[in-house]
Structure 1
Amino acid sequence: MALSVILMVKAETKWLGTRKTSEWFYTAGRTIKTGLIASSIVSAWTWAATLLQSSTVTYEFGLGGSFWYAAGASIQVILFSILAIELKRKAPMTHTFPEMIYVRYGKHSHKIFLSFALMTNTIVTAMLVLGGAAVIHSLTGVDITIAAFLIPVGIILYTIGGGLKATFFAEYLNAAFIFVVVLIFVTVIYFATPEIGGISGMYEKLRQASILNPVEGNVFGTYLTLASIGALIFGIINIVGNFGTVFVDQSYWQRAIASRPRAATGGFIIGGLAWFAIPFTLATTLGLAAIATGVVLNENEIELGLVAPTTATNLMGDLGAVLILTIIFTAVTAAGSSQLVSVSSLITYDVFRTYLKPSATGRELIRISRFTILGFGIGMGVLASLLFHSGFSLQYVYLMMGVLIGSAVAPISFALLWKKTNKFAATSAAVIGLACGVFSWIFVANSIYGEITLASTGNLIPLLIGNVVSILVSLGITIVGSLIKSENFDFQIMKQKILVVDDKVRSMLRRDTDEEFLQRSLRFCKRIGFSISVFLVIVWPTSFYLTEFVFEEQSFHLWVWLAITWAFSAAGIIIFLPLIEARRNITEIFHKAQMNQNEEFDDSQDSKYDLPIMKILVPVDGSARSLKALYQANYLFRGAAKVRIYLLHVIEWTDENEENIDEALSEQIQEEGRLILRSVVVPKNISDYKRIVKLGDPAQKISELADKLKIDVIIMGKKGIGKSTSDLGHVTQKVLKLTSKSVVLSE
């Protein structure tokens, strides 16, 4: 995957002319379309926990577990579309959400919410590596500490060079692959596994399992119901905790920033609905199959999320083990890449540029970012190893995350949504909410179980109380404090104070900011987002819960077919929509690749000659000596018929200045170079010649082009337009050092 992503990034930068500026590195040029945003969200939101924990709660609670995992974690992404549109309206040039907080609430608040952002990335990364390392250890026998360090290697490899765009490419490949594997599992287990016996066989085995091992808290103790107290408690924890891991996670803000204004709406809503299919279908397959086939695991193995890999191996042998291992590994690496870019952007913009060097150039920002990616990538392995050896499991970290980060949700959201939000109330709400959440979590655990240990604090009731208290206390303080002392913030200040260095991106943002369209999109997101959320977490489950509905065989068939249909539909959208939207760029890349990257390198005419053609490169800088070199080339080879002359003009542009040039300026400069070449009068008897313009270091470009075109002779002036105290100009001297080609110098 790393190799594929590197090649995709190379293709885009080489054949589509994309420049690796800091804007490109952190925001992918802010031009990502709906399909790629949706696939990116599916991948970034598909953690190891998605593939493992969803089957675990289904194994524990039955159908309610798969439903509550999917519904409880999809609405946050769908509702985030509202913040994505508001960001496009009010702070379109933002790079990170703490950057927006700095302008809205001030320096001290910025530091607090930056800490929440980094804590969120750390928790998510810990879950990714913990889950991935546990599965690798279980299925392959690789030491879990080694596995924890193995996972970040591929992530660092492509992220450090490709930035956010590489992450998008990796996430598309990952999302497509995960859907394919989910469809393989559901097809094989339900329709080609004798031990299961099809959908009817699964139903009968679940009915028998309910009799032999009834579930405490489920209606009639059956696995075939959504009326489950344990699943409901998990669902509430899931909803609360995942608001934090979306709204306080820079990676989702980064997708909102990277998307086109017209893609922000559809990307998050489609992504959220498509993601629902992954845990829902996979857990309805592997989680239920674990119950049906009588998989037995100890408490520690369940908490490490080994239900899905054990079941896949039991039913499908090595193929099942390989498939589950591969999707876990790719999910961890793709989501991990997203976390790496998020942490690097926070450190680069909110620490380095804000507090250490406000005047930093784009090249310095990229350098800091790459150091951060390398450091945090290695730290991922260290953190996961420490947590594992300290006794923390994937399930424990997943359920307690809302306690630690849920209190930041309301203050961050209201920074964009409500101009009356009081900055002191919002900032204190985050801190007080965190303190109250942690205190209530530990207090309840001690009150019920008489001790404060990993075991007591890992129970559902203390975690439920801690999660709910954290988010509700913060919400209450933010609203009440803002009503008591309201502010009247002018959101135009964000547009004035948050700036983009890249001229092209800045002009594009100003051109694409259609206030009327964004207002319509905002109304649409609110209407659709709240409607879907209410349906998924209130209307749908309540209708099953209040009626104490238990699935009969026919209704169970409908439920399974709903999961299968949803998965196939989501897979089709996630796999094909990005390809349809990118068809123009894909066609252009293939066309340029077939044309050998550029028309100027097309040597197809060579075949008309019986003998090899003599290729001569004549660099022209406008000086008399360079023009004299052209005529000397004509003089030396005037009697030969098999000669092609390449006239090269290099516009000097050093790497240090690359950050300050966008594609439009580059094209303008190169057009000026073409004008210079067109003004050069070519002798009439030279019939086969090409004019080439390059941007960069003259000597290096001359040497590179001579190798690329397989030049036989370079003919150039001893000196050019530059000043030199020696007999040879500095460009000529450098060319003689760099090239192995024959060089003829003109006086």
Structure 2
Amino acid sequence: MQIQPIFSPGFGYGIVIGLGAAFAIIMSIVAWGLSRYAGETQDSEMQMTAKKSVRTGLLAASVVSSWTIAATLLTSTAYGYSYGVSGGWWYGAGACVQILLFTACAIELKRRAPAAHTFAEVVKVRFGPAGHLTLAFYSFLYQLFASVNLLVGAGSIFSTLTGMSADAACMLLPLGVIIYSALGGIKSTFLSDYVHTLIIYIILLISVVVVYGTSSLIGSPGDMYELLRKAALAHPIDGNQDGEYLTMKSLSGGLVGAVFVGSGFSAAVDSQLFQKAIAANPESTIGGYLLGGTAWFAIPFCLASTWGLAAAALESHPSWPTYPDRLTAAQVSEGLPMPLAALTVLGKGGAGAVIVMLFMAATSAMSSETMAVTGLVTYDIYRTYVNPKASDKQLKAIAHLTVILFGLSVGAIACGFLHAGFSVNFIVTAIGIVVDSAVIPMVCTLTWARMNTLACVGAPILGSSVALVAWFVSTKHYSGEITIDTLSTLKPLALGNGISIIAPLIFVPLLTFIGGNQNFDWNRLKHEITAVKAHGEDHHEHTHSTDDEKETDDKEKGEISTTVVMTKEGSDELVEVDLSDHAERVLKAGRAKALWAASAMTLIFCILVPLPMYFTNYVFSKGFFIFWVVTIFLWAFYAALTIGILPLWEGRFGIAGFVRGVWKDIKHVSSRA
């Protein structure tokens, strides 16, 4: 059944233009305020790295925001609707583990190259232009298609629910992002990430409470349990134990996990995650990424277990928008189970809340991708190959131009994808097949001194080629034809993503053996990657101590305080990057903690929780399902409180100073009036 728009086109344009303009204005004012009251001058270092000042809570919020794309909301819920409790669990588990594993790589980047602006700068020092351009291309490819996917998902839902032009949504959504990203830089992106993510968590909490607590259609875990048992009798799920929604014994659910374990690694290719590690101070890196990873899991897990299951439970109710028809495969692929379930339970307010969530996810994540692409173009292309002696003013100009061109280009490409029939589900599951092969070479760039340029260049290309062949051949084998629909089936996707991540484990050592060991000296990264000096003066690097007494104290402690220093012309202001033994110890300890935490969470998410229930063919009892719902509540509240309160607590002194500065200016203006 064709779904009629719930809202008028004016509502859609109001959200896209109105909220976009509001956030652009607010974030621009915040950027100005930070410059006036906190001394945060928007030179290129602040624009790209926030001068390594971001703390744990804000970093965690930004990690959640980066990982929360349109597919996180729509695809996870569609899998909950299609495969039951296993769909949401495996989506979250399959894509959460990579955040935790990435933490170790992020810490290694800060330890090996503390003055880096982008990950690709490290690749340039190690492998020269060939390796540098290869991995930079893979990173850009992910950023491009991740951004396109954001707009495809948001554009299609805005069009379906409001009747506004999907093309207009794709072109208008980036405009606000362009404004505050250009004016505020990465610090503005961090702050907008926090606000956007907080709003998503507030709506998430409302959703969980209403569906399982106050809704007249469901209202309790016990009622949901009974409705899902009836739904399984009416529409049993092929491949699930007894056709039930309430089981982890799901062939399709397991394949979802396999797909997202593979495709989730594609996000590790995205340099914006490294960008945020670069922007954090050393002590904040591990806490920010681990808290962000566990808090992010709540979004797909809780939404799929709330709106996904609600859609399955209420589809046979007369109030369901397509009753008595079920959703078509195309409608599920577009991500409609979530907004339609919200409409059924909460009315137009619920559908409106979903639209707001999509707006927040799309604009926040796109802001992060935009800043990452800007960093690549500004430092890794322009400063490296076009103008090595570029001044701070020139770098800022290139950064602003890149923000504008990237935003407009992504909007145009998203329009083309929508007209070609690509869905948000297809893009999010297929992109890993192309870019996952760069993950192992990127990890080895930071951890294996022997890897050579041949391996850095050849392994990703060979891995992508083999994975694409496997994807197409397996699609032809299982479906008999190659179309967008058949390429979207789970078995070929799982095979393609798996081969793309695994193949470089063979190609990297093989090509290193063929080309010979590099035996790279890690100290080169600390000496050859430097900060940029404002006003265009040549940057330089030296050790700096504030006075003889401090130097003596450091020696007594057995520590050498070494700093890369940038001095502004006509000013005593310094930009310092800590290379001290203390920072080295902090980062090494953080790396060990990250590996232990990643191993433990992988064990819990992928083995200890799902596999015993899978192999015992367990179907949830009512009591166990109530326990499952309690877990959903607890995880949702943990995530919301962590992301909502921790950044405010850590920034309380800065906020107080900001408020005092504003109040002082207000009193000054009042006294002159």
Q: TM > 0.5 between the two?
A: yes
- Give the CA deviation at 1:513: 5.8
- Secondary structure of 1:499 counterpart: coil
Change in Cα spacing, 1:127 to 1:363, as seen in structure 2 (3 Å) is same
Structure 2 matches for 1:177-256, cutoff 5 A? 177-245=199-267, 247-256=268-277
Which residue matches 1:287? 308
- Give the CA deviation at 1:505: 6.3
Aligned with 1:258 (options 264, 271, 279): 279
The higher-RCO structure (CA 8 Å, 6+ apart) is 2
Which residue matches 2:382? 352
1:540 to 2:609 alignment: yes
Aligned with 1:85 (options 84, 100, 107): 107
- Give the CA deviation at 1:512: 8.3
Which residue matches 2:561? none
Aligned with 1:528 (options 583, 588, 597): 597
For the 8 Å contact 1:93–1:506, the answer to whether it is kept is no
Which residue matches 2:622? 553
Which residue matches 1:306? 336
**What amino acid sits opposite 2:624 in the alignment?**
S
Which residue matches 1:154? 176
Which stretch has the larger CA shift, 318-327 or 2-11? 2-11
- Give the CA deviation at 1:277: 0.7
For the 8 Å contact 2:51–2:575, the answer to whether it is kept is no
- Give the CA deviation at 1:602: 7.8
Structure 1 gap segments, 5+ residues each:
605-708, 711-747
For the 8 Å contact 2:197–2:360, the answer to whether it is kept is no
For the 8 Å contact 1:215–1:223, the answer to whether it is kept is yes
Aligned with 2:440 (options 390, 410, 413): 410
- Secondary structure of 2:476 counterpart: helix
Change in Cα spacing, 1:291 to 1:496, as seen in structure 2 (3 Å) is same
Distance between the aligned counterparts of 2:292 and 2:141, measured in 1? 25
Q: Deviations over 1:339-381 (max 9, x none)?
A: 1111111111111111111111111111111111111111121
**What amino acid sits opposite 2:300 in the alignment?**
P
Q: Deviations over 1:386-445 (max 9, x none)?
A: 001011111111111110101000001110012222331232110100110111111111
Which stretch has the larger CA shift, 569-578 or 293-302? 293-302
1:583 to 2:583 alignment: no
Which residue matches 1:16? 38
- Give the CA deviation at 1:104: 1.4
Change in Cα spacing, 1:505 to 1:105, as seen in structure 2 (3 Å) is farther
What number of residue pairs does the alignment pair up? Answer: 603
**What amino acid sits opposite 2:529 in the alignment?**
I
Aligned with 2:429 (options 390, 394, 399): 399
Which stretch has the larger CA shift, 333-342 or 447-456? 447-456
For the 8 Å contact 2:62–2:194, the answer to whether it is kept is yes
1:130 to 2:161 alignment: no
For the 8 Å contact 2:282–2:586, the answer to whether it is kept is no
Which residue matches 1:717? none
Which residue matches 1:456? 486
**What amino acid sits opposite 2:293 in the alignment?**
G
Structure 2 matches for 1:364-379, cutoff 5 A? 364-379=394-409
**What amino acid sits opposite 1:578 in the alignment?**
P
**Percent identity of paired positions between Structure 1 and Structure 2:** 34
**What amino acid sits opposite 2:517 in the alignment?**
S
- Give the CA deviation at 1:483: 5.6
Which residue matches 1:741? none
Aligned with 1:381 (options 391, 394, 411): 411
Which residue matches 1:623? none
For the 8 Å contact 1:15–1:597, the answer to whether it is kept is no
- Secondary structure of 1:507 counterpart: strand
For the 8 Å contact 1:133–1:148, the answer to whether it is kept is yes
Aligned with 2:522 (options 491, 495, 502): 491
Change in Cα spacing, 1:422 to 1:505, as seen in structure 2 (3 Å) is farther
- Give the CA deviation at 1:84: 1.3
Which stretch has the larger CA shift, 480-489 or 147-156? 480-489
- Give the CA deviation at 1:479: 3.1
1:325 to 2:346 alignment: no
**4+ residue segments displaced more than 4 Å:** 601-604
Change in Cα spacing, 1:603 to 1:378, as seen in structure 2 (3 Å) is closer
Distance between the aligned counterparts of 2:34 and 2:581, measured in 1? 23
Aligned with 1:472 (options 502, 506, 519): 502
Distance between the aligned counterparts of 2:43 and 2:233, measured in 1? 63
**What amino acid sits opposite 1:400 in the alignment?**
A
Which residue matches 1:594? 663
For the 8 Å contact 1:89–1:513, the answer to whether it is kept is no
Which residue matches 1:700? none
**What amino acid sits opposite 1:595 in the alignment?**
K
Change in Cα spacing, 1:201 to 1:105, as seen in structure 2 (3 Å) is same
Q: Deviations over 1:496-524 (max 9, x none)?
A: 11111241665343358622222211111
Aligned with 1:340 (options 363, 367, 370): 370
- Give the CA deviation at 1:44: 1.4
For the 8 Å contact 1:29–1:505, the answer to whether it is kept is no
Structure 2 gap segments, 5+ residues each:
1-22, 321-325, 534-565, 567-572
Which structure's CA Rg is the greater one?
A: 1
Distance between the aligned counterparts of 2:333 and 2:491, measured in 1? 17
Distance between the aligned counterparts of 1:319 and 1:368, measured in 2? 42
Cα RMSD after superposing both structures: 1.6
TM-score by length of structure 2 reads: 0.87
**What amino acid sits opposite 1:80 in the alignment?**
F
- Give the CA deviation at 1:589: 1.0
Which residue matches 1:685? none
- Secondary structure of 1:514 counterpart: helix
Aligned with 2:632 (options 563, 578, 591): 563
- Give the CA deviation at 1:183: 0.3
